[in-house]
Amino acid sequence: MFDSLSGRLSEVFERLTKRGVLSEGDVDAAMREVRLALLEADVALPVARDFIEKARAQAVGQDVLRSVTPGQMVVKIVHDELVTMLGEESAELDLNAPPPVAVLMVGLQGSGKTTTTAKIAKRLVERDRKRVLMASLDTRRPAAQEQLKILGEQAGVPTLPIVEGQTPVAIARRAMQAAKLQSIDVVMLDTAGRLAIDEALMAEVAEVKAESQPYETLLVADALTGQDAVTVADNFNKRVGLTGIVLTRVDGDGRGGAALSMRAVTGCPIKLLGVGEQLDALEGFHPDRIAGRILGMGDVVSLVERAAETIEEEEAEKLARKVQKGQFDLEDMLGQLRQITKMGGLEGLMGMLPGVGKMKQQMADAKIDPALIKKQEAIILSMTQGERHNPKVIHASRKRRIATGSGTSVQEVNKLLKQHKQMVTTMKKVNKLGKKGLMRHGLPGLS
Amino acid sequence: MSGGWLSRLTAGLGRSAGRLGGQIGAVFTKRKLDQAALDELEDLLVAADLGPVVAGEVTERLRADKFDRDVTDEEVREALAGVVAETLEPVALPLNIDRSNRPHVILVVGVNGTGKTTTIGKMAKVLIESGEKVVLAAGDTFRAAAIEQLTIWGERVGAEVVARDVGADAAAVAYEALARAREIDADILLVDTAGRLQNKTGLMEELAKIGRVIGKLDETAPHDVLLVLDATTGQNAISQVEVFRDVAAVSGLAMTKLDGSARGGVLVAVAARFGLPIHFIGVGEGVDDLQPFDAGDFARALTSP
Ligand SMILES: Nc1nc2c(ncn2[C@@H]2O[C@H](COP(=O)(O)OP(=O)(O)OP(=O)(O)O)[C@@H](O)[C@H]2O)c(=O)[nH]1
Ligand SMILES: Nc1nc2c(ncn2[C@@H]2O[C@H](COP(=O)(O)OP(=O)(O)O)[C@@H](O)[C@H]2O)c(=O)[nH]1
Ligand SMILES: [Mg+2]
Ligand SMILES: [Mg+2]
C-alpha cells in the first residue's frame, strides 16, 4: 500500500519536474497526492490540511510558476515546508537552572517513558558529566519501579530507593529532597502511563508537576501513533504543559507522521528520538530525515542529496586548501566524521529512505562502521582545542585522560591519531587527483 | 462476561467515537449528499484511523446509494456502521480452546508496549474463572523487570509462572514451561514474549524459533498465536499484522487501549486485508478490562454520536 502510494507520488513529481511550465491545476493535482501521502503517513488530518494550504500558497506564487524549473521548485517547497513545520533548529534539553533540576517524563501507557528516562540519564552522566538521580513515580504498572531500578543499574545511574505505598506526589517530593541533600544536578522523574482523557490521572500528574517544578516536561510518544497524536499532544500540553517531545520507536518502519502532528499542535520542539531498546539508542532530531520519510519519496531525498553535495564540494575545496598547506588537524577530521554521520545518519533510518540505499552501499563498500565513527567523534570531543589543532602534544597522560573522557581505551586513542596521520598522507595524494576524489573514494582508514 | 460490559465498551469507545459521531452530525444534518459532503465524510473516516482505502470504500457506497439525495446524519451513520460491521463480522470470532490439546498453547506476540503482558494477565483471569488450569511462561527475558511483571500478574490471578533468569533463551523458557504444564496437567499455557518491531529480522526470527522449539514437545503447538495491537497505532498496524503473520504464523488478534481517545479504526483496514480473527479488545489496565470483540458493537461505538 505504501509502496504504491509513494510510487504514485514519484510519478506526479516526475511529471512536474519534467514540465517547463506549470498551471495551477498541475499544482493542485500534486497537492492532492501530497495530502494523501501525509494521511497515509499518519499525519493528523487538521495538520495535513493546514500543511497543504501553506505549501499550495507558496507553490502557485509567481516566482515559482515562472522559474526555470517549476516542478523542482514545488518539490522543494513541499519538503522545506515540512522541515519548517517539524522545526528547523535542533533543540537540546535545557537544564540551565539552579540544581537540582527536575525533568518530568509523561505520556501514554507503553510509549517508552521508563526506557527513555534511563537513556537520557545515562547520556547526562556520561556525556555531560552530570550527577543524576532517577525516581519512578509509577505505582500502577506491576514491577514498574523495579524496571527503572534495573535500568539504573545497567546505566550506572542511582535510583531513589523504593518505598511501598507512597503516592506519586510523595515520591516526587522525596526525590527532590534527596537530590538536595546529595547535591544532585538533575532529577529524572518517570511517571505511570496515562490516557490523555483520564481526568483523575491527568490531575495527578499536574500535581506532581506543581510539587517538583520541572524545568523540562517531556512528552514521550510512539512514532507509530496514528491520528490520536493530536489529542494526546494537545491534552498533555494543556493539562500539564510540555517543553518538548521525545519520539520513540523511530527504529521501526513507521512513516512518522505523528512527529508533524504533535509538533504542530503543541508548538513544542521534538528534542530527542528513541531508536532502539538499548540504553544508548538515543539520537538528536533531524527534521529533514523525518520529512523525507513522511513523504516517502526518492525525489525529495535526492533533492536534499544534491544540496548536500554542493556543501560537500565547498567543504572539500576548503579542506583541499588546508591539506595543501599541511593544516588538516583533528578539528577538521571531526568535521569529516560528522559529515559522514550526517550523510549516513541514524543507521536505522537510512535503509528506509528511498535513494539512501545507494549511499548505504557506498558506506558498506568503504567499510565505514557508524558505531566506530561515533566513538572516534567522542575521542576528538574529549580533546582540548589546543590538542585538536596540534596533535603532537598528545602524550601518554593526555591520552589516558582522553580515553577516560570518551569512554574508550588508550589503544583506541592511538589508533585514531594514527588514522589522522594516514589521512593527511592519503589526502595529499588525493589532492593531486583533484578535490572531488576525496569524497568519491571515502575516507581512508575508517575500517 | 460481566453484565455491564457493553455499556462499558460503549462508554470507553464513546469517548473516542464521540467526536467522529458528532462530526458526522455536524456535517450531515439534513443536507444533500453531494461531492463536498462525501469528501468531508471521507476525511472524517481517515481521522478515525480507518485509512484512505476503507474510507474511500464507505464513501463510494454512500455515493451509489444516496448521491444527491437529502440524507440525515442518522442515515449516514447507519450506512457507515453497516460497512464497518460487514467487514468486521466475519472476523469477530472467539478464541477456541481445544481440550484435546494438553495443554492448549497460546503464544502472545507484538510490538513493544502494546499490552501483551497485561492481556495475558486478563486472559488468565477469564480462563481460570471458567475452570481452566493455566500456566504462564515468562518468555520476555529481555526487558528489565518483565519477568517480575508477569510474576505479579500470576500471583494476582492465581496462575503458576515458569521463569528463568534475565537473558535466558526465550525458546528454552517456553519449552520448560510446556514441560511443566504437562507435568501438572494444565489446560492452557500462555507464553509471554518480549516486544519487538516487525522490521527487526533477527528478533522476528527468534519468534519462529520459539515455535519450532516447543514443537519438539508437541508438534501441534503453539495452537494459537495472538498478536496484540495497540489502538493508538496508526497505519503501521497493517505492516505489523503482515510481518508477524508471515514470520510467527499469527492466528488471531487482540486490540488494547480502546478505553483511550484512539479509535482503532485501522482494525477495519486490517480485517479487510488479512481476514484474521479478532478475539479480544482491551478497555483498561485492570484485570477485568478484557472484552470479546463484537463487530456490531465496535461499528456502532465507532459511529454513534
Ligand atoms: N488504558 C489501557 N492501558 C493498557 C491496556 N492494556 C495494557 N495497558 C497498559 O499499557 C502498558 C504496557 O502494557 P504491557 O502489558 O506491559 O505491554 P507489553 O506489550 O507486554 O510491553 P513490553 O513487554 O514492554 O513490550 C502498561 O502500562 C499497561 O497497564 C488497555 O487496554 N488500556
Ligand atoms: N524498538 C524500540 N523499543 C523501545 C524504544 N523505547 C522503548 N522501547 C520499548 O518499548 C517498551 C515499553 O517501554 P517502557 O519504557 O516500559 O514504556 P513506558 O510504559 O512508557 O514506561 C519496552 O519493551 C521498551 O524496550 C525505542 O526507541 N525503540
Ligand atoms: Mg514505565
Ligand atoms: Mg511485556
pLDDT single digits (tens) A106-145: 999 999 999 999 999 999 999 999 999 999 999 999 999 9
Euclidean distance between the first and the last CA atom of chain B, given in angstroms as a whole number? 26
Q: Give the burial class of B222: count Cβ atoms within 10 A of its Cβ; 0-12 exposed, 13-18 middle, 19 or more buried.
A: buried
Looking up cell 458528532 gives B22
Mean pLDDT along residues A26-38: 82
When pLDDT is cut at 50, 70 and 90, the band that residue A69 belongs to is low
Phi, psi (rounded to 5 degrees) for B266 = -60, -20
Q: How far is the CA of A226 from the centre of ligand 1 (A)?
A: 17
Task: Give A155's pLDDT tier (boundaries 50, 70, 90).
Answer: very high
Cell match 574529549: residue? A382
Question: What residues of chain A lie within 8 A of the CB of B52, using their CB?
Answer: 36, 39-40
Tell me the per-residue pLDDT of B198-207, one tens digit each, with 9 for 90 and over. 999 999 999 9
- Is pLDDT of A390 > 90? no
- Which residues are A222's β-sheet partners? A248
Nearest to A82 by CA among A44, A49, A55, A57: A55
Average pLDDT over residues B297-302: 83
By residue count, chain A amounts to 447
What is the C-alpha to C-alpha distance for residues A51 and A394, in angstroms, rounded to an integer? 53
> A114 CB less than 6 Å from ligand 2?
yes
Residue A443 has pLDDT above 60, yes or no: no
Q: Is B24 within 8 Å of B77 (Cβ atoms)? A: yes
Please say whether the beta carbons of A62 and A75 come within 8 A.
no
- Mean pLDDT, range A27-41, rounded to an integer: 84
Q: Which residues pair with A132 in a beta bridge?
A: A186
Ligand 2 atom index nearest CA of B197: 1
Residue A313's pLDDT band (cuts 50, 70, 90): low
* CA nearest ligand 1 atom 4, residue: B285
Nearest to B260 among A143, A195, A224 (CB): A195
Q: pLDDT value at position A315? A: 62
pLDDT at site A427:
64
**pLDDT confidence bin for A312, thresholds 50/70/90:** low
Q: Looking at the predicted structure, is the pLDDT value of residue A355 above 90? A: no
Cis peptide bond upstream of A100, omega within 30: yes
pLDDT value of residue B30: 64
pLDDT of residue B89: 96
> Is A211 a residue whose pLDDT tops 90?
yes
Confidence of residue A15 (pLDDT cuts 50, 70, 90): low
For the cut 50, the answer to whether the pLDDT of residue B4 exceeds it is no
Evaluate if residue B27 carries a pLDDT over 60.
no
Predicted-complex ipTM score: 0.89
A78-92, A177-191, B244-258: segment of lowest average pLDDT: A78-92
**Average pLDDT, stretch A349-374?**
51
- pLDDT at residue A438, rounded to an integer: 38
pLDDT confidence tier of residue B259, bands split at 50, 70 and 90: very high
Beta strands in B33-86 (DSSP E): 70-71
Residue B69: its pLDDT value, please? 77
- Residue range(s) of every CATH 3.40.50.300 domain in chain A: 101-297
Is residue B188 within a helix (H) or strand (E), and if so which, with residue range? strand B188-193
Percent of chain A predicted with pLDDT > 70: 74
Mean pLDDT of the residues in chain A? 81
Span of A412-426, B87-101, B183-197 with lowest mean pLDDT: A412-426
Q: What's the pLDDT band for A11 if we cut at 50, 70, 90?
A: low
A430 CB within 8 Å of a chain B CB: no
How distant is the Cα of A170 from the closest Cα of chain B, in angstroms?
23
What is the C-alpha to C-alpha distance for residues A4 and A392, in angstroms, rounded to an integer? 57
What's the first-to-final CA gap in chain A, in angstroms?
39
What does DSSP assign to residue B100? Answer: T
CA diameter of chain A: 73
Cα–ligand 1 centroid distance for B119 (angstroms) = 8
Quick one: fold of B104-295?
Rossmann fold (3.40.50)
**Residue A136 Cβ contacting ligand 2 at under 6 Å:** no
Strands of A223-364 (E only): list them: 244-248, 270-274, 282-283
Mean pLDDT of A14-32: 72
**CA geometry: angle A258, A262, A264, nearest 5 deg:** 115
Describe the strand order of the beta sheet including A244-248 as a list of residue ranges. Answer: A132-136, A186-190, A101-106, A216-222, A244-248, A270-274, A282-283
Q: Can you give the residue ranges of every domain in chain B?
A: 3-91, 104-295
Q: Is A65 a residue whose pLDDT tops 70?
A: no
User: pLDDT of A326-354, one tens digit each?
Assistant: 677 888 788 777 766 655 433 433 333 33
Asked if B235 and B52 touch (Cβ cutoff 8 Å), the reply is no
Q: Which CATH number fits domain A3-86: 3.30.70.141, 2.40.240.20, 3.30.70.380, 1.20.120.140?
A: 1.20.120.140
pLDDT value for B168: 95
Which CATH code fits A303-441?
Answer: 1.10.260.30
Helix residue ranges per DSSP H, B92-145? 116-129
User: What number is the average pLDDT over the span B152-156?
Assistant: 97
- Range 3-62 of A in CB contact (< 8 A) with B: 36, 39-42, 44-45
**pLDDT computed for residue A319 by the predictor:** 66
Residue B244 burial (CB count, 10 A): 24
Report the distance separating Cα A435 and Cα B2, nearest Å. 75
B45 interaction partners in chain A (CB closer than 8 Å): none
Residue ranges with CB less than 5 Å from ion ligand 3: A 113-114, 144
**Cα-to-centroid distance, B116 and ligand 4 (Å):** 5
- Beta-bridge partner residues of A444: none
Q: Which of A191, A280, A201, A284 is nearest to A239 (CA)?
A: A201
Q: What 8-state DSSP symbol labels residue A215?
A: S
Pairing, β A244-248 against β A270-274: parallel
Does the pLDDT of residue A324 top 70, yes or no? no
* The domain defined by A101-297 carries CATH number 3.40.50.300: yes
Q: Rounded mean pLDDT of A422-445? A: 52
**Dist CA A259 CA A248 (whole Å):** 10
Mean confidence (pLDDT) of chain B = 88
Q: Which of A34-38, A292-296, B295-299 has the highest mean pLDDT?
A: B295-299
What whole-number percentage of chain B has pLDDT above 70?
89
> Which regions of chain A carry the CATH code 1.20.120.140?
3-86
pLDDT at A230 over 70: yes
Strand partners, A270: A245
**Separation in Å, CA of B138 to nearest CA in chain A:** 14
- Residue A61 pLDDT level (bands cut at 50, 70, 90): confident
Average pLDDT over residues B280-292: 96
- In this structure, which CATH number among 1.20.120.140, 3.40.50.11740, 3.40.718.10, 2.50.20.20 belongs to the domain B3-91? 1.20.120.140
User: Looking at per-residue confidence, does B107 or B76 come out higher?
Assistant: B107
| Contacts within 8 Å (CB) and 24+ apart, A202-210 | A202/A235, A202/A236, A202/A239, A202/A240, A203/A239, A204/A168, A204/A169, A205/A104, A205/A106, A205/A168, A205/A239, A205/A240, A206/A239, A206/A240, A207/A169, A208/A104, A208/A137, A208/A168, A208/A169, A208/A172, A209/A104, A209/A240, A209/A241
Q: Using CA coordinates, name the residue in chain A closest to B200.
A: A252
Which A positions 240-299 lie with beta carbon below 8 A of chain B?
A: 249, 251-255, 257-258, 277
Q: Whose CA is nearest to atom 9 of ligand 1?
A: A109
Across the interface, do A1 and B262 touch by the CB < 8 Å criterion? no
Tell me the angle at which helices A24-40 and A45-59 cross, rounded to the nearest 10 degrees.
150
pLDDT at residue A64 in the model? 62
Residue A220 C-alpha cell reads as 514521550
> Of B107 and B13, which is predicted with more confidence?
B107
What's the pLDDT tens digit per position in B32-60?
Answer: 778 887 887 788 788 889 987 778 887 78
CATH 1.10.260.30 intervals, chain A: 303-441
